[in-house]
Amino acid sequence: MKEEYDFTNAEQGKFYRPGQRVEAPVYVDGDVLAFFQQKSRQKNIGVDSLVNSILKKEMEIIQSIE
């Protein structure tokens, strides 16, 4: 790393987009992904839809016991 950087030609906020939603990627273990890929093929739905529905049910369970 340099001791000093020159920002004289830098443009503040160049990549800022007001109101833009940032989606954070979620990483799962290979065996977990393989399981959900297989189940989503059986149900003929996307992996993201299947995982989201399971996570929403899990959220309901957690909220009901709090």
Residue predicted with more confidence, 55 or 66:
55
pLDDT tens column, 23-49: 889 999 999 999 999 999 999 999 999
> Contact, 36 vs 47, CB < 8 A?
yes
pTM of the model: 0.63
Confidence of residue 22 (pLDDT cuts 50, 70, 90): confident
Interval 8-25 mean pLDDT: 90
C-alpha 5/C-alpha 14 separation (Å) is: 18
